[in-house]
Amino acid sequence: MDLPNRSRANHAVRYVCPEWTWPADELIHIREMSERTSVPASSLRYYEKLGLITSERETSGSQRRYSKATFHRIIYITLAQRAGFNLEEIAEQLAVLPDIHPVPPKVWEPLAKNGRRASINASPSSSN
């Protein structure tokens, strides 16, 4: 699937409401997940090591395969990082989020408010 050359945030927004369909039981390989989310495969493996996402494997040596629910978690992680949250904070958020995908807008509101606050705090202040 060829994607236009855009930032990760634009990719994330596009894939929250994708034009393609994804059967609920279909699993995709790490390479395709990386392409769909614009998150490097090494980051996906790291997220899995931290317990932020899970993959399904038939055996311990088989390839990682991801579900649609994991896709939505990755999008959440990406957007939360862009809002200024670290992975520890994101893990806490993911632990209390409802297990519905995509996450409803009312769940995103606190994240958006905190993201705006983070960007305001990060803006340079005028010097005396």
* Residue 36 near residue 15 (C-beta atoms within 8 A): yes
- Residue 51, Ramachandran bin (φ over 0: left; ψ between -120 and 50: alpha; else beta): left
First to last CA, the chain: 52
Residue 1 pLDDT class (50, 70, 90 cuts): very low
pLDDT in tens, 11-52: 444 444 444 566 667 899 999 999 999 999 999 999 999 999
Q: What are φ and ψ of residue 6, in 5° steps? A: -135, 170
Top mean pLDDT of 21-25, 70-74, 107-111 is at: 70-74
- Overall pTM surpassing 0.85 (yes/no): no
Q: For residue 35, count CB atoms less than 10 angstroms from its CB and return exposed for 0-12, middle for 13-18, buried for 19 or more.
A: middle
pLDDT in tens, 77-104: 999 999 899 999 999 988 887 766 666 6
- Note the pLDDT of residue 8: 46
- Note the pLDDT of residue 52: 94
One-letter amino acid at 56 equals: E
Neighbours of 3 (CB within 10 A): 12
